[in-house]
Each structure stands twice: as structure tokens, then as C-alpha cells.
Amino acid sequence: MEGHKEPLWLKVEGSHCSLSEMDDFDLTRALEKPRQLKIERKRSFDERSMSELSTGYARQDSILEMAHSPGSRSMVDTPLSVRNSFEPHPMVAEAWEALRRSMVFFRGQPVGTIAAYDHASEEVLNYDQVFVRDFVPSALAFLMNGEPDIVKNFLLKTLQLQGWEKRVDRFKLGEGVMPASFKVLHDPVRKTDTIVADFGESAIGRVAPVDSGFWWIILLRAYTKSTGDLTLSETPECQRGMRLILSLCLSEGFDTFPTLLCADGCSMVDRRMGVYGYPIEIQALFFMALRCALSMLKPDEEGREFIERIVKRLHALSFHMRSYFWLDFQQLNDIYRYKTEEYSHTAVNKFNVMPDSIPDWVFDFMPLRGGYFVGNVSPARMDFRWFSLGNCVSILSSLATPDQSMAIMDLLEHRWEELVGEMPLKICYPCIESHEWRIVTGCDPKNTRWSYHNGGSWPVLLWTLTAACIKTGRPQIARRAIDLIESRLHRDCWPEYYDGKQGRYVGKQARKYQTWSIAGYLVAKMMLEDPSHIGMISLEEDKQMKPVIKRSASWTC
């Protein structure tokens, strides 16, 4: 710490109008129902430009007005979203009640929400635990409602857990690994609370959650941005926690790509689903976490080196993703005509992808206008599947260029039947079946075609979709998705996922009262009512980072 002196890079710049602030204004105008909007200027801190940092001129960050007055907490029982809506949907109040029921307390303090509050289910498994990824929409709902304490407690509690020694059998895990989930054990006799955590050593498949650390950093920024409370992220503990996570993914090895190599099952898709390698979900979260960390790391003795490494990685990662993961009509046509077995720097088909490996469905699926980041790219392998979370996070983090973001939304509109159907939103498209299912999933009966992680529809994804819609100025798409959710979710008791090609059936093994289905709905509603909320989960494009992708059919048509 530098005593009480305010670090240079955090000084207030009163007259400065941040990019995100200007953007909020445009978003508001883009919406059709202005009378429902509660326009508040959020206290925020800007993201430092990567290029500025790389040249050593860190811009002084600006702090805008406070998001929530301290007094707002006295009204916690009536959610702001209910009070401010013009005509609140009856589901909103029910959802708040259900969300509050799922809260978990440690020594009297709220520290998270359990994954599902489903008493009817025979098997609890680990659904009575607080999952890091599942808590994100809950946290955003609480932040948007002016209740940051549970989020702060969660961030501190998980930070403490990160400090535990983690082992799988005789193998010691990296220091920075964050838990997938934790559980509070109450002893009614001794009146004590203890915590057990799972870092992958109990998880099905024994995979460490790569996404947890990234979500933790993203949430720390959301908390800071929403409350204007810089003191949490500035603590030596939080700074160290970030550095530990970063050293896990910025370490040098045998990599030839800036993307992060992962095992199957290390994120939301936590079972074998052929997402090993360089899955889009992890790459997008990695990019977003790097940018969030960049805005919070102090350039002190320990932080400076990380800042430099992040800046370099971001440049390489965005180039790689925008060039090699991007697929649109033109790009597909180019791959279709690829030569193979090229050697040397002049190779066009750098990863030696065989055109014969392009699945038939993608030729019909690809519209003339539109595009997306494919599921995975590695030597001789392109997974052409569309994954919703990775694509939405690419928009939110500005990993996607503005043109690419528009193209992702164009594709969603064109392929609404396939990607949304009757229940937003497919986790991936299409499903895998028959022989491929046997080989890729290892005959997983939970991941049969159009079910669960294999083309199932997950209501939680509504919030990422809504955020992406608002960021790209297309709130009407989000409204359409919310209408679908409102026609069913409550009646079906907030299931975890839906099955079928259209997402028409409540999932075979879906839990009811799944917390992130509930919280995801609330977050989507609140963001649509007050689009300025999106600032806590979205990062503006770094204007200095030149887009590398060549223009192609999806944005010239």
C-alpha cells in the first residue's frame, strides 16, 4: 500500500465523460419505452486503455456519481425493480421471494445463494451448495437492487477459500484455483458454522473449474463499478487473489497460441462434451477477466509486471480469436476451399483444417448476414458448434469487434427457431447424436440429444442474451426472449433446463427452483428497465486496439 495517498491512476477527473457513460445515453435512446426507464448515472471507473498502458501512459481514471445512495438499503424488502416498473410482472415479486429463500448464511452473514431449492428432488447431489458461476446472476440482481453486502461477503469468503491447500489424491493444485462451489455446515448443538469447498476434487470428473477465477474477477469489477467502493478491490488480499488467478493462466509453457488450453468439463458445461482444447466460453471469460483485472490492478511493485503481461496477452488473444475463431459466410466459403498440408509462414490454412471435416449442418445454418465465434479451434480441428455463453460474453467484453457483435445478433435473429425456439436459450447448437454422441460424451445418459449440455435450453442464459442485446442496441430481441420465459418459467417452477429441439419440455433431470434461472430472469428485467445497469457487466471497445478481421459478407450486405 502507498499509505493514505491516493494513487495517481485513481484520481478523480471531474470533467471527463467516459465512453461507457456516453454509451449508456445512446442505449437509453435506443429503447422503445422510455417511460419505464430509471436513468441514473452510475459511479464508475473507466477501463484503462491497453495501448495507453503499453506505452506507459496510464490515463487517470474517472469516478462518476454514486450509483446508490447509502439510504437505499433501508428499502431492501421491496425490490427496486418492483417499485420502479410501470406494470411489474407478477413473476418479479415471486422471483425475489425465491431468490431470498435461496440465500446462504455463514455466522449470520449472507455469503451466497444455493444452486437449487428443490425439495421434491430425490437426489440433492451438490445442488445445495453455493456455486461460484451460479452466484453471478444472483450477485448482479442484488447489486442492481442496491444490496451489495452479500456480494462483498461472497467475494471475501471465496477469496479465503482460495487460500486453502487444494489436493486431488496426492496432487497439489495451483494456489490461485478458486472453488467450483462451497457449502456451509451448521452445527445446531455447538452453534458453529463451518465451510467445505470443492475445487474439483469432489466434482464429477474431477475437473478444476477454470471459469470460477474468471467470474470472481468479473464480479469484483461489477461490485466496484456498481457501488463505487474502490476499497475492496484495492485491499492487498484482493490484489493478491487476482494475481494468483492470473499467474495460473499467464504462465509460460509449450503454448503456441494465446488461448487457454483446458480439459473437458471445466466450466458451465461441466461434463465430457467435446469442449476440451480451447473452448470459446473460457476464451471469452479469460479475455473479459483480463480486461477487468487490468482496470483494478494497482501498478505497484507486484502488480506492474502483471499489467504488462495482461496487455501483451490481450493483444495476442484478440488477434487470434477475431481471426481464427470467427466464422461467417465468407469465412466458411474460404475454409471450404482450403488447401491442406501447407507448410511455412505463408500457409493460409494455418491449423491444417480438412474441408471434409466441415459438418453438413453448418452450410445450411450460416446466413448471408451474420456470424459467430466457433466452439473451438486447434490443430486440424474446428468445432463448428455455436455456444451461446461464449458469444454473448464476447460481445460484453468487446472481444468481438462492433461489426462482429452486430453479426452475432444478426445470426441470432436469423436462426431464432433453432437457437431460441420456445425457450431461451440453447446452450449450444446443434446437438450431437448417435455414434458421435457415443464417442464424444462417452455415452453420457444425461447428455442425450437436445438435452442438458447437449443442445438443451437454459433459462439462466437469458441475462447474458439481454445484456448483449442492450449493448448492441437491440432490446427488442431481449423483450421477445423475456416474453417466452414469462409464459412458462414460473408455471414450470423455474427449471434448470429444458429439453427438445424447440426447448419445449422441462429437462429430464432438471432441478426445479434453480436459483440462476430465477436470478437470470430478474437481472434481464432490471437491465431492460434501466439499461445503465449494463455498465457493471460490460466493457467498451478499446478504441486503440485495431480490429484485425477483414471485412466480409456479414457486414457488407
Q: How far apart are CA 95 and CA 141, in angstroms?
A: 11
Q: What residue is closest to ligand GLC based on CB?
A: 115
- List the one residue out of 298, 165, 176 whose CA is nearest residue 236: 298
Residues 6+ apart with CB under 8 A from 17: none
- List the one residue out of 433, 423, 415, 478 whose CA is nearest residue 456: 423
Residue 281 is a binding residue for ligand GLC (CB under 6 A): no
CB under 6 A: which stretch of 129-137, 217-225, 361-369, 403-411 binds ligand GLC?
Answer: 129-137
- CB of 204 vs ligand GLC, minimal distance in Å: 8
- CB of 203 vs ligand GLC, minimal distance in Å: 8
Residues 6+ apart with CB under 8 A from 184: 104, 105, 106, 111, 130, 193, 194, 195
| Residue with cell string 440465500 | 103
CB 205 within 8 A of CB 270: yes
CB under 6 A: which stretch of 48-56, 76-84, 126-134, 440-448 binds ligand GLC?
Answer: 126-134
Restricted to residues 96-115, the positions that interact with ligand GLC (CB under 6 A) are 115
Residues 6+ apart with CB under 8 A from 173: 166, 167, 199, 200, 201, 208
**Treating both helix axes as pointing N-terminal to C-terminal, what angle do 462-471 and 475-488 enclose, rounded to 10 degrees?**
160
Residue 268 is a binding residue for ligand GLC (CB under 6 A): yes
- CB of 131 vs ligand GLC, minimal distance in Å: 4
CB under 6 A: which stretch of 27-35, 130-138, 238-246, 346-354 binds ligand GLC?
Answer: 130-138
Residue 131 is a binding residue for ligand GLC (CB under 6 A): yes
- List the one residue out of 288, 330, 341, 332 whose CA is nearest residue 313: 288
Burial class (CB in 10 A: 0-12, 13-18, 19+), 309: middle
- CB of 302 vs ligand GLC, minimal distance in Å: 32
- CB of 315 vs ligand GLC, minimal distance in Å: 31
Go through the chain and tell me how many residues it has. Answer: 557
Residue 426 is a binding residue for ligand GLC (CB under 6 A): no
Q: How far is CA 102 from CA 70, 75, 114, 514, 515, in A?
A: 25, 20, 5, 9, 7
Q: How far apart are CA 544 and CA 541, in angstroms?
A: 9
Helix (H, G, I), strand (E, B) or coil at 198: strand
- CB of 198 vs ligand GLC, minimal distance in Å: 11
Smaller CB separation from ligand GLC, 265 or 535: 265
Applying CB under 6 A, what is the total number of residues that bind ligand GLC?
A: 6
Smaller CB separation from ligand GLC, 138 or 401: 138
Residue 134 is a binding residue for ligand GLC (CB under 6 A): yes
Smaller CB separation from ligand GLC, 214 or 555: 214
- CB of 138 vs ligand GLC, minimal distance in Å: 11
Cα 288–292–296 angle (5° rounding)?
165
- CB of 92 vs ligand GLC, minimal distance in Å: 22
Residue 133 is a binding residue for ligand GLC (CB under 6 A): yes
**DSSP summary character for residue 174:** P
Smaller CB separation from ligand GLC, 179 or 258: 179
Smaller CB separation from ligand GLC, 131 or 521: 131
Smaller CB separation from ligand GLC, 133 or 298: 133
- CB of 141 vs ligand GLC, minimal distance in Å: 16
Smaller CB separation from ligand GLC, 232 or 432: 432
- CB of 452 vs ligand GLC, minimal distance in Å: 7
Burial class (CB in 10 A: 0-12, 13-18, 19+), 175: middle
Smaller CB separation from ligand GLC, 81 or 113: 113
Smaller CB separation from ligand GLC, 197 or 238: 197
Smaller CB separation from ligand GLC, 365 or 513: 513
Handedness of CA 481, 485, 488, 494 (dihedral sign): positive
- Please name the amino acid found at residue 420: V
Smaller CB separation from ligand GLC, 268 or 307: 268
Q: Where along the sequence are the contacts to ligand GLC (CB under 6 A)?
A: 115, 131, 133-134, 268, 270
